[in-house]
Structure 1
Amino acid sequence: MKNVIIGVIALLLIVLGGFYMKKYKNSEETTGQIQQVKWQLHDMDVNEIVNITFELQNKKGTEIRGVNDHIRMFIVDKRLTQSYQMSPTFVGNGSYKATHQFKKEGEYTIFLYEETGDTTKQFAEKNITVGNKVVEKKQNPITADTVLTKNIGPYRTSLLFRTLYPHEEETLTFQFQIGKGQKLKFRSNTGERAELRIVDEGRQHFLYVVPNNDEEQLQFRVMFPSEGIYKIWGTFYINGKKYEEQFTLQVQKRKDS
């Protein structure tokens, strides 16, 4: 009798499992299925701890599944001088929440992207104002770096590339000055790779770029979507240690375009 009961229970679990798999087998989605991002934001004051909440929906108006651990948020101010990187928390029903405290008033842009180890761009963005909306005084335009050799940790590093044009893939090479016979490992001790987060001066485009070569050199293949100034926030791992550095580049307009 006991064996019969166990058999019935096992059969019931199999049936329920099959029903569940049939119902949800196609529920795994990616950001490619996102048709709408619903933002839930209120007026934000300086130094106020605020919740930035948004909901992801597919073309059917239902929640997106399968991207909970991959959603990232990158926030920059109007002058591209401040940046904040966050991992929103999934709170159910397709909604995510991140908590932040802005230290300065002004205009900001929130970019959402999916971090899965591949180069990608934002799938949504939102402009916000923190504090009183005031008319800003005329400021000098953002300019490209005139010197592209900087210290990344203890290493003197030069950023090398050919002339940059929109819609043309180019290689950005970070060349590290090291001693003869010295080799560098461009990953963390747990295998994390270098990353570039790139935003244009108009805050229309965001790129998340991972290296295509981090063995002998540290190289990134990048295709800039338009002409103009771009700010790069780089995260680098050198012999297991993490470093941060920024670069500002100019993407030229082709004379024959």
Structure 2
Amino acid sequence: MENHQHHQHAAHNDHAAVENEVSVTAAYEDGKIVVELKDPEGNAPVLETNHEKDLHLIVVKSDLSEYRHLHPVSKENGVFEQAYELSDGMYKVFVDIKPKGLAYQVKPVELHVGEHQNHSADNDLSVDTEFEKTVDGRTVALSVNSLKVNEPTVFTYTSKDGKPDPYLGALGHVVILDEDAEEFIHVHPSSEDETVFETRFSKPGIYKVWGEFMFGEQVHVYPFVIEVTE
């Protein structure tokens, strides 16, 4: 199962080190999130299918209090749309794509909705001390082997309800953001039959981790806040 190590490196390397060959803009218009992609010539890039979708859109409130994983519909000329109701405020969106033949790394794009101050809200993240949560009647526990910089970090999820169902070509998806919503990591299971995810952190700090798992026909999202140390 793919681990998306390229996303991990893109998230932690100096942003100036990789020159994106795909420009990304996002806007909120008439109850829709509108994303536009352009290559260096101003044309729509060709996208390779990535875990059953051409584009994965991660939307978070700037204080990380809200999280959505969406799949906008392709319209034309590199435009994707997703009808979705967002409350007023500032958001950051992460456009996860695999453009054919073009350099690309996922970077945050600000999305302003309604009337509000044009700056990020301060988050109030508290590191979790209990790593078991129940969402819509499904309980999942998380164990982590190490939270040290530059060491392999393995996230192991277990469910009292048994193994989750496949979702977008994997048993689960884990998205990780630092507290400033600048560093983006998207990890998939390291095997096809276990909900085990491996990554590395290159800098210390507070991170929020969202684990996505499908039980039956419903996707459940389990958020945890962790701290990575030297």
Name the SS of the counterpart of 2:94 in structure 1: strand
Q: In structure 1, list runs of 5 or more residues that go unmatched.
A: 1-31, 116-120, 179-183
2:17 pairs with 1:39: no
Structure number having the greater helix percentage: 1
Q: CA deviation at 1:251?
A: 1.4
Distance 1:249 1:214, change over 3 A: farther
Distance 1:199 1:99, change over 3 A: same
Contact 1:205 1:225 in 2 (8 A): no
Q: CA deviation at 1:114?
A: 2.8
Write the mapping of 1:97-136 to structure 2, written as runs, cut at 5 A.
Answer: 97-103=81-87, 105-114=88-97, 123-134=106-117
Task: Give the structure 2 partner of residue 64 of structure 1.
Answer: 45
Q: CA deviation at 1:240?
A: 7.9
1:58-79 deviation digits (Å, cap 9, x = unpaired): x454431133742111110022
Which residue identity does 2:163 align to in structure 1?
A: K
Which residue identity does 2:22 align to in structure 1?
A: Q
Equivalent residues, number: 205
Write the mapping of 1:1-257 to structure 2, written as runs, cut at 5 A.
Answer: 35-39=21-25, 41=27, 48-57=30-39, 59-67=40-48, 69-103=53-87, 105-114=88-97, 123-134=106-117, 141-151=124-134, 156-176=139-159, 184-188=162-166, 192-213=170-191, 215=193, 217-237=194-214, 242-252=219-229, 254=230
Contact 2:90 2:118 in 1 (8 A): no
Distance 1:100 1:243, change over 3 A: closer
Which residue identity does 1:81 align to in structure 2?
A: S
TM-score scaled by structure 1? 0.65
Contact 1:186 1:214 in 2 (8 A): no
1:226-252 deviation digits (Å, cap 9, x = unpaired): 322222222224588753322111111
RMSD: 3.5
Distance 1:214 1:247, change over 3 A: farther
Distance 1:196 1:51, change over 3 A: closer
Which residue identity does 2:61 align to in structure 1?
A: D
Q: Which has the higher contact order (CA 8 A, sep 6+)?
A: 2
Which residue identity does 1:52 align to in structure 2?
A: V
Name the SS of the counterpart of 2:210 in structure 1: strand
Q: CA deviation at 1:214?
A: 5.0
Q: In structure 2, list runs of 5 or more residues that go unmatched.
A: 1-17, 99-103
- Kindly name which structure, 1 or 2, has the bigger radius of gyration based on alpha carbons: 1
CA distance in 2, matches of 1:132, 1:243: 31
Distance 1:89 1:191, change over 3 A: closer
Distance 1:67 1:91, change over 3 A: farther
Contact 2:167 2:213 in 1 (8 A): no
Task: Give the structure 2 partner of residue 118 of structure 1.
Answer: none
Q: CA deviation at 1:122?
A: 5.5
Task: Give the structure 2 partner of residue 24 of structure 1.
Answer: none
Among all aligned residue pairs of Structure 1 and Structure 2, give the percentage whose two residues are the same amino acid: 19
CA distance in 2, matches of 1:158, 1:213: 18
Contact 1:171 1:222 in 2 (8 A): yes
Contact 1:72 1:86 in 2 (8 A): yes
